[in-house]
Amino acid sequence: MATATKKKSKKNVGKSKLGKTGVNSHPVSLEFTEEMKGFVSMPGSFNYQEDYAAGKKAGNYLMFHLTIRVPDTQFFVYDPDETGEAIGWVECQPIGGRFEVEKGVFNCFVDSGKPSANEKHMKYRLFLKNKAGKKITLSGFKKVVDDGILNIWRDTSTLYTTVYEGYVEEKAEPKAKVLAKGILHILEKDFIKQMTTFKSNGRTFSERKDALFRFGELFMGNLWEIYGAQFRKAEPELWRERDIPVFTLDGVKNSKITFHPFTTDDKISLNLVRFQKKESKDVVVLMHGLTTSTDMFVMPEHKNLVTYLHESGFTDVWSFDWRGSLRFNYNLFPHRYTLDDIALYDVPAALKVIRDAVGPGKRIHFVVHCVGSISFFMSLFGGKIDGVTSVVSNSVSLTPNVPTWSKIKLAFSPFLMESVFRFPNVNPRWHYLPGFASGKVLAKFVSLFHHECDEPACHMLSLMWGTGWPACYEHANLPDITHRRVGDLFGATSMNYYRHIRKAVGRKAMIKYTPTDTRYNSLPNNYLDKASDIKTPVLFMTGDQNKVFKDSNIIAYETLNRLNPGNKNELFIAEGYGHQDTLMGKKSDKDVFPRIVEFLRKNSNGVKKG
């Protein structure tokens, strides 16, 4: 590696590379020609991008044609400043026409900023003089930083440029007079031409080849040092990055917490968690989305939904971990469950456990989210449950609608993941797996296209759900600590649920996945068939920035109004929110939860604030 090489002492360098005397009797040089073109603003401000735009508008064109020469490629590798010579000319009519380079210095890669910043600059300093005797200095740098491997071209072909009056060394720049400022670029056609200009004075083909390889190795080594940082990060180091314990219930205070495990008729183990502050005539049941869990309702880093319900007088709250919960490790393995299974087995069994525990005469309300919401409505509209007092549905229910890119992913991803890549699941935490474990390379690849944040699990969630950067939520709505632990709040899932959603999206309504399967004969082929019979009031809720299920719940609200006029349904659109952040955002207790409680109170016996 280049950095390791530089640490060798000069004594060792002299013996190992330059012969006994430390002098290379025949230094082998390397040179190439580079052209960069752009615009500058006069006299310039503090923002290169703004100066470039202003210069372009004013027509202040600047270009240079330089030959970069490394006199001794052997020494260049060990030079901490990686210094080369620059000769040629610069042209900018507004400044004074064509200027010849009197002295030019090129530094290939120089550490810049704090060591932890992992940033290097490629520096240019040109002392220039025109025919009229005017002297100026062009000082420029290319900023190479770990901002994603897809940005290598942009970083290495963009020169942030300042022109000073007179000859100015770097240390004197703060007090020097600025004549112009802007940005120069290497155009693609010029870069292709540049690749043909490499020359060496090596006496043999072997010497010339070695000179080119030494320079190339140093150049690529520096790029790897910067852009490869995330690839080299030790997995044990990542595994220790946890601010909040997994599956913690510390977010709910002063509550009796009990666990109610049960088994469905198709032999799946599920669980209900009860958070009871005191007895209540109104019981609220929460259902998470696919790959989340009870954790999304009890997060300790902000006012969570369970706590808000308790404080609002709903003191008996249950959270239902159905078969899509990240708390169940069977989701790490391939399966063929569909949403019909959840509607037929999970929801009815959970409701029975709750009714047996709370006793008769209690009003039971549901707050359901994402695929949990879809499955609940399939059970309700499929006639498998009854006696539910009211429902709050977030994001989607019986009329799923997704962005175009999501439709493409739904069409191809299940086959690609299972049959081509042979992955047993898709997991937001793939990035943290050791070595070249299954899925890690794909996670790294996905991150190349997501520069909106530096959290790999967030990038994977945008692959798994929706279309956006990010897709599942608005970054601004999540506390930083929540964003850092999204890999703990969202888990892995097999691909068959996606197949069912794909089929429903194609039909624009929830339908049975396999109508010919006799196990599901008690379920309707289309879950809207008996919509006119359902009298349960529903608050359909969504964010106006929903990039996962778009306007699905708006469509559901309008569809049920047509199929069942006179219903008591309501619609709430949370401004500035997406899909997931409505229920786990840092300000959900101010922007969203009050509307949920208002609806629940409207359908209870005047529950007052606790």
Residues in the chain, pLDDT under 50: 1-23, 234
What pLDDT is attached to residue 266?
97
pLDDT in tens, 145-193: 876 666 788 889 999 999 999 999 999 999 999 999 999 999 988 888 8
| Backbone φ, ψ for residue 167 (5° rounding) | -90, 120
pLDDT in tens, 464-478: 999 999 999 999 999
Closest CA to 34 of 145, 152, 127, 157: 157
Closest CA to 38 of 18, 53, 25: 53
Alpha-carbon distance of 285 to 352, in angstroms, equals 12
SS3 category, 274 = strand
SS3 category, 50 = helix
What pLDDT is attached to residue 2?
39
Q: Are 581 and 474 in contact (CB under 8 A)?
A: yes
Which H/E stretch holds residue 414?
helix 404-415
Matching residue, tokens 């006012």: 303
Matching residue, tokens 């180091």: 237
Torsion, CA 445, CA 446, CA 448, CA 454, rounded to 10: -120
The per-residue DSSP string of 338-391 comes to -HHHIIIIIHHHHHHHHHHHH-TT-EEEEEEEHHHHHHHHHHHHTTS---EEEE
What pLDDT is attached to residue 217?
78
Matching residue, tokens 């040092």: 225
What pLDDT is attached to residue 418?
93
Alpha-carbon distance of 62 to 139, in angstroms, equals 13
Matching residue, tokens 């790897």: 224
Tell me the Ramachandran region of residue 507: left when phi exceeds 0, alpha when psi lies from -120 to 50, beta otherwise: alpha
Which H/E stretch holds residue 316?
strand 316-321
| Backbone φ, ψ for residue 587 (5° rounding) | -120, 20
Measured N-to-C along each axis, helices 370-381 and 496-507 cross at an angle, to the nearest 10 degrees, of: 70
